Structure formats: C-alpha cells, structure tokens
Amino acid sequence: MEQNNIVWHVTHITKEERSRLKKQKACILWFTGLSGSGKSTLANALEAKLYTLGIHTYLLDGDNIRHGLNRDLGFSEADRVENIRRIGEVAKLFVDSGTIVLSAFISPFIKDREQVRELVESHEFIEVFVDTPLEVCENRDPKGLYKKARLGEIKNFTGIDSPYEKPCTPEIHLINDKANINDNVDKILDYLTKNGYIYA
C-alpha cells in the first residue's frame, strides 16, 4: 500500500482526557545505560512503587520486547536503530493512552534517543541516565554477556566493541554503582511529583 493512501484516523477521546481519567500526566521514562547498569531493576522497583500510589504504568524491557515485537531483529547497528525506533512508536501509543511508560533499553546512540524524544511533546520524554561505570557493570555481568563479548562470542556489544554515547543533558542523572535503589526510586518520584506527572 502506498503511503499517500494512508490517512490518520482522528479519535473522539483525546490523550488529555485519558490522562485526566487516570489522574496523572502521561510520559515516557526512558532508562538508558550500559548492560548491567541496573536499568531494569530500577524500572521494576519504580513501577512497583507507582502501583502502590495508584498510578497507571507499563514497563517495556529490552529483552522482553525482543521475544515478540522485535524478534526478527539482530544486534547490528542498523537492527539496533530499528529496535529503538519501534520501541519509540510503541511508547508513543502508551503516552496517547494516558499512561506513564517506563522503557528500559541500553539505547546506546544519542540520535536514536533523540528520535524517540521527537515523537512526543517536549515534556513527555524524560531521559533517565543510569550511570554505572563499565567495570562495575562487567563485574556484575548478571547474564554473562560481558564474558562472552570478551571471548569474542558476541559481536557489537555495547561498551566492549560498540560505543555507548552518554546523555549530555538527561532530565534525571542517577549514579548507580553504590546508590541504594530506594534512594534512586525516590529521586525519580520526586521529579515526577514536582513536575506534575503524579500527585503524591
């Protein structure tokens, strides 16, 4: 089907109305950092806390998405770009539903994260940089991936033979090598409350 034969269908209920129904302001919390930095662990802990506060959320995790939506993608640079593009489009749909979506992906390239930011309104993308030194991530190595990468069994592995481009001005910057997870959850909650995304 040619693109010019596709017309956007306008729905009666707006994003703002869906958000008001949920008593929150929709946004994307985009957790980025090296493998083993603690992105998924932190996002899970935050979602659990938001649940107790009655906040409507959904967590998108890198490995989980590759089991379904992105199962056809590998780990070449082109496939990783497409992986993030698809995730961005899914996250945008969640924002349109009035939901706070938590996205935990390495997303190593600045231009790809900025591409997702541009999909939504300026206040709807919150970059959360989970800043953990490579040596700490490699010592943790919860999935044994760094060991495989060092042995040459995994190619294009972020931090080893593929670069990670740190965020320049993330909305939330968390140092996560020695921090208490509850302290970092509280920092994010504080940001969400002060900026009117949730009402504590």
Q: Which residues are catalytic?
A: 107
* Dihedral angle sign, alpha carbons of residues 36, 39, 42, 45: negative
Helical H runs in 105-173? 110-117, 134-140, 145-150
Cβ–Cβ under 8 Å, residues 80 and 88: no
State the CB neighbour count (10 A cutoff) for residue 52: 7
* Dihedral angle sign, alpha carbons of residues 142, 173, 65, 48: positive
User: What is the rounded distance in angstroms from the CA atom of residue 36 to the CA atom of residue 41?
Assistant: 9
